[in-house]
Amino acid sequence: MMLLKKYYYGDYGEIEGGVSSNKSETEFPLWEVFIRSKQGLDHKHVGSLHAADVAMAVENARDVYTRRMEGVSIWVVESKHIHASNPDEAESLYEPSMDKIYRHPTFYNLPDEVGHM
């Protein structure tokens, strides 16, 4: 039977091969934090933290990541809900696009009539 290995954000390097789910029951689960800054339109990933539940996760995010007025909105998501690509498959995932330069707009010569695009 083929078991699906799960990769969390931040796994690479430290825990090669993904994380198994036999975490200690006394440990708080891991959450990923996304903050939207005042000028920003999108929430950006800023890091992760431990919390027992979603309320604690939002409060921890506020205390850990917005101490210097970094944001106006916080998203948190439990890390286990994030599915990541497998670093071992990098070759087949990304390399095929390397020799397809025609996918870049700079590959094409624009006729003069088009003017500034």
Partner 1 sequence: MKTNLINYALHLADTTLILSHRNSEWCGHGPILEQDIALTNIALDLLGQARNFYQYAAELMGEGFDEDKLAYLRHPSEFKNHLLVEQPNGDWAITMLRQFYFSCFQYYFYNELKNSSDQQLTAIANKALKEVTYHLRWSSEWVIRLGDGTQESNNRMQNAIEILKEFSDEFFAMADYETALLKDAVSINVKDIKAKWIQKVNDVFEEATLNLIPSNNSQIGGKNGMHSEHLTTLLSEMQTLQRTYPNSVW
Q: Which residues bind partner 1 (CB under 8 A)?
A: 28, 49-53, 55-56, 59-60, 63-64, 67
Number of other residues whose CB lies within 10 A of the CB of residue 49: 19
- Beta strand pairing call for 73-78 and 44-50: unpaired
Structure tokens at 35: 């903050």
Nearer to partner 1, 18 or 80 (CB): 80
Smallest distance, partner 1 to C-beta of residue 99, A: 46
Smallest distance, partner 1 to C-beta of residue 83, A: 24
Nearer to partner 1, 25 or 42 (CB): 25
Structure tokens at 18: 């993904």
β-bridge partners, 65: none
Residue 52's identity, in one-letter code, is A
Smallest distance, partner 1 to C-beta of residue 72, A: 15
